[in-house]
Amino acid sequence: MQRSRSEQGVTFGKGVYSKLDFQEDELVLKDKMLFGAQHTSNKVDCFVCSHCFQFIGSVELQIGRKLYLQGLGLSDKNGCDFEAFSPASKEDVPTESDDEDCYPMENHNHSELCSSSAARDNSAPSDDTLESLMNGILSLPYSEKFSLPPVISCLGGCEEEHFCSKSCAEADWELFHSILCTGKSSRSLQRNALVKFVEHANKTNDIFILAAKAISFTILRYKKLKITHVENQIQNTGLHEVAHTSFSLLMEAWRPISMGFKKRWWDCIALPDDIDSSREASFRMQIKELAFESLQLLKEAIFEKEYAPLFSLEIYGHIIGMFELNNLDLVVASPVEDYLYILMNFHLLKRKKLKKLQAPFYMLLKMTIRYAVKARHSFPCKAA
Which tops the pLDDT comparison, 194 or 356?
A: 194
Phi first, then psi: give them for residue 142, nearest 5 degrees.
70, 5
Phi-psi region of 63 (alpha: psi -120 to 50; beta: other; left: phi over 0): alpha
User: 382 - beta bridge partners?
Assistant: 331
Per-residue confidence (pLDDT) for residue 355, from 0 to 100: 57
Among candidate residues 195, 158, 184, 194, the one with its CA nearest the CA of residue 302: 194
**Of the listed ranges 19-33, 278-292, 366-380, the one predicted with least confidence:** 366-380
**Of the listed ranges 111-115, 162-166, 193-197, the one predicted with least confidence:** 111-115
Which tops the pLDDT comparison, 374 or 59?
A: 59
pLDDT at 102 over 50: no
Average pLDDT over residues 173-201: 91
pLDDT at 149 over 70: yes
For 39, 98, 209, the CA distances from 204, given in Å and listed in that order, are 12, 46, 11
pLDDT at 275 over 80: yes
First CA to last CA distance, the chain: 26
Chain centroid, CA 203 distance in Å: 15
Per-residue confidence (pLDDT) for residue 45, from 0 to 100: 86
**What's the residue count for the chain?**
384
Interatomic CA distance for residues 47 and 38, integer angstroms: 10
> Is the Cα dihedral 283, 288, 291, 296 positive or negative?
negative
Contacts of 13 (CB under 8 A, 6+ apart): none
Contacts of 224 (CB under 8 A, 6+ apart): none
Average pLDDT over residues 304-321: 96
Per-residue confidence (pLDDT) for residue 81, from 0 to 100: 32
Angle at which helices 207-237 and 313-326 cross, to 10°:
120
Residue 99: pLDDT band (50, 70, 90) is: very low
Residue 315: pLDDT band (50, 70, 90) is: very high
Name the burial class of residue 169, with classes exposed (0-12), middle (13-18) and buried (19+) by CB atoms within 10 angstroms of its CB. Answer: buried
Mean per-residue pLDDT of the chain: 78
Strands (E) located in the chain: 4-9, 13-18, 152-153, 162-163, 330-332, 381-383
Which tops the pLDDT comparison, 355 or 304?
A: 304
Which tops the pLDDT comparison, 145 or 71?
A: 145
Residue 87: pLDDT band (50, 70, 90) is: very low
Per-residue confidence (pLDDT) for residue 95, from 0 to 100: 43
Per-residue confidence (pLDDT) for residue 4, from 0 to 100: 59
Per-residue confidence (pLDDT) for residue 372, from 0 to 100: 52
Average pLDDT over residues 156-170: 95
**Of the listed ranges 173-177, 331-335, 348-352, the one predicted with least confidence:** 348-352
pLDDT at 89 over 50: no
pLDDT at 242 over 60: no
pLDDT at 278 over 60: yes
pLDDT at 101 over 50: no
Which tops the pLDDT comparison, 281 or 73?
A: 281
Average pLDDT over residues 8-32: 75
